[in-house]
């Protein structure tokens, strides 16, 4: 029998699986849907995500599934954890079954590649104004969440009561959920830090040292703040978990795919080879292009993002990009 308090997690990659494991620790029945039936079948047989989270055994209340349609009348909370390129496609899949009883949260970090829209704008465009929306973001590597290592995230929703509701779903000793009403700031923080993490990976791959890494984090934060405020985000959000917190995490630790991707590029291999080496989603690749375009549209100066974009579009090598950034004129240190 399905319990009325069951939760549906859409996306069975490393982050979807880790969040499903975290929610399962709250004792709800958790249904983890994956797009690829063969992958889901493997999860069902092995009772773990052998490839990315090999040590996290699925508890009895976590079910991997290939069809979510029959669950839609029973669940209220739906959590989307697919890569940003699959976000709208996933919304379109659930749209025919969405009712006023549902709430939607996502933990995807990125912007829509084709339109430059933030994901809450995509969700509103697909689902209308009546479904409560929330976004989960912050410094949170899947492997550590799966292992129940202490983690803190931000849950943002326009309606703070909805943010509290989602935070209560997740909150536990090893997974602290703070609330915010700044969906724009939280999403910009989560999307753009991936681009800065690529820059940090490149700099470390070029053996530029710890001073450079700290400079990239600090100046990268300035870029995030400038763009985020231009788009309507709140300055203090960028000093929090979904801003500075996630930026520091991904720029400094090799669990970050974006950082490892940048590091691989600095070894002189192609974009495709670097992506293949990482073997998982690298959100910063698309985010670099979109962020660069958004910065131009809003007249925001984002030199680090600009040079990462130049590397990714073949206009400069990692070394040339680093040299061009260093050759910039001195200027007052401002956010
Ligand atoms: N892995 C991590 O530590 C964290 C990841 N995230 C974010 O979570 C999102 C998902 O990333 P991961 O799970 O890490 O990626 P992953 O590379 O581990 O897995 C991606 C999964 O998405 C599936 N997928 C691809 N296209 C899809 C589509 N159109 N519809 C449904 N499923 C699709 C793939 O089959 C695969 O199972 C990304 O936006 C990422 O930035 C956020 C925080 C932490
Ligand atoms: O967002 C993340 C941790 O908060 C994961 O970062 P990567 O996608 O770079 O691995």
Atom of ligand 1 nearest to the CA of 15: 13
DSSP β-ladder status, 133-137 and 62-65? unpaired
Q: Under DSSP, is residue 145 helix (H, G, I), strand (E, B) or coil? A: helix
Based on DSSP, count helices (H) and strands (E) in the chain, helices before strands.
15, 8
pLDDT at 259 over 90: yes
Q: How far apart are CA 261 and CA 304, in angstroms?
A: 16
- The full set of domain ranges for the chain reads 6-181, 184-327
Give the chain's radius of gyration (CA, Å): 19
Under the banding of pLDDT at 50, 70 and 90, the label for residue 131 is very high
- Specify the pLDDT at position 145: 98
- Specify the pLDDT at position 164: 98
- Specify the pLDDT at position 214: 96
DSSP β-ladder status, 175-180 and 151-156? parallel
- Whole-number Å distance, alpha carbon 109 to ligand 1 midpoint, is 9
Q: Is the CB of 84 under 6 A from ligand 2?
A: no
Residues 6 or more apart in contact with residue 136 via CB below 8 angstroms: 19, 79, 105, 106, 107, 153, 154, 155, 166, 170, 177
**Please, what is the Cα angle at 201 between 327 and 304, to 5 degrees?**
40
- Specify the pLDDT at position 1: 38
Question: Mean pLDDT throughout 57-65?
Answer: 97
User: Could you tell me which residues are annotated as the binding site for substrate?
Assistant: 109, 257-258
Under the banding of pLDDT at 50, 70 and 90, the label for residue 67 is very high
pLDDT at 2 over 70: no
The pair phi, psi for residue 57, each rounded to 5°, is -75, 135
- Specify the pLDDT at position 3: 45
Known catalytic residues are 193
* Mean pLDDT score of the chain: 96
Under the banding of pLDDT at 50, 70 and 90, the label for residue 114 is very high
pLDDT at 218 over 70: yes
pLDDT at 4 over 70: no
Atom of ligand 1 nearest to the CA of 17: 13
User: Could you tell me which residues are annotated as the binding site for sn-glycerol 3-phosphate?
Assistant: 109, 138, 140, 193, 246, 256-258
Q: How far apart are CA 55 and CA 106, in angstroms?
A: 25
Q: How far apart are CA 33 and CA 44, in angstroms?
A: 11
pLDDT at 176 over 70: yes
Residue pLDDT, tens place only, 269-292: 999 999 999 999 999 999 999 999
- Whole-number Å distance, alpha carbon 109 to ligand 2 midpoint, is 8
Question: Mean pLDDT throughout 243-264?
Answer: 98
Residue pLDDT, tens place only, 182-196: 999 999 999 999 999
User: Could you tell me which residues are annotated as the binding site?
Assistant: 11-16, 35, 109, 138, 140, 142, 193, 246, 256-258, 281, 283
Q: Is the CB of 197 under 6 A from ligand 2?
A: yes
Residues in the chain: 335
Cβ atoms of 93 and 63 closer than 8 Å: no
Topology annotation, domain 6-181: Rossmann fold (3.40.50)
Under the banding of pLDDT at 50, 70 and 90, the label for residue 332 is confident
Q: How far apart are CA 272 and CA 251, in angstroms?
A: 21
| Neighbour tally for 164: CB within 10 Å | 16
Residue pLDDT, tens place only, 18-48: 999 999 999 999 999 999 999 999 999 999 9
Question: Mean pLDDT throughout 65-92?
Answer: 97
CATH of 184-327, one of 3.90.226.10, 3.40.50.880, 1.10.1040.10, 1.20.1260.10: 1.10.1040.10
Residues with a CB atom less than 6 Å from ligand 1: 11-16, 34-36, 52, 81-84, 86, 89-90, 107-110, 140-142, 280-281, 283
**Please, what is the Cα angle at 118 between 113 and 122, to 5 degrees?**
85
- Specify the pLDDT at position 327: 85
């Amino acid at each position: 029998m399905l319990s009325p308090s069951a939760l549906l997690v859409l996306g069975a990659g490393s982050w979807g699986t880790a969040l499903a494991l975290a929610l399962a620790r709250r004792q709800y029945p958790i249904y983890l849907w994956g797009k690829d039936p063969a992958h889901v079948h493997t999860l069902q047989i092995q009772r773990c995500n052998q490839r990315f989270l090999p040590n996290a055994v699925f508890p009895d209340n976590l079910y991997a599934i290939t069809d979510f349609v029959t669950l839609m009348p029973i669940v209220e909370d739906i959590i989307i954890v697919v890569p940003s390129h699959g976000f709208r496609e996933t919304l379109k899949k659930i749209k025919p079954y969405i009712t006023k009883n549902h709430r939607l949260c996502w933990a995807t970090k990125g912007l829509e590649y084709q339109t430059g829209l933030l994901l809450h704008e995509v969700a509103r465009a697909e689902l209308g104004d009546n479904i409560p929306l929330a976004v989960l973001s912050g410094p949170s590597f899947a492997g550590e969440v799966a292992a129940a290592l202490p983690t803190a995230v931000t849950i943002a929703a326009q309606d703070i009561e909805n943010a509290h509701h989602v935070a209560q779903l997740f909150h536990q000793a090893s997974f602290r959920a703070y609330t915010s009403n700044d969906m724009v700031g939280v999403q910009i923080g989560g999307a753009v830090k991936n681009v800065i993490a690529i820059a940090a990976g490149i700099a470390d791959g070029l053996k530029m040292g710890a001073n450079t890494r700290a400079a990239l984090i600090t100046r990268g934060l300035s870029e995030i703040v400038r763009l985020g405020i231009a788009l309507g985000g709140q300055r203090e959000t960028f000093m929090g978990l979904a801003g500075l917190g996630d930026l520091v995490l991904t720029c400094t630790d090799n669990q970050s795919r974006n950082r490892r991707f940048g590091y691989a590029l600095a070894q002189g291999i192609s974009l495709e080879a670097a992506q293949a080496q990482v073997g998982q989603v690298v959100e910063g690749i698309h985010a670099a292009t979109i962020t660069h375009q958004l910065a131009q549209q809003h007249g925001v100066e984002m030199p680090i993002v600009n040079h990462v974009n130049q590397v990714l579009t073949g206009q400069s090598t990692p070394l040339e990009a680093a040299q061009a950034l260093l050759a910039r004129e001195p200027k007052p240190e401002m956010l």
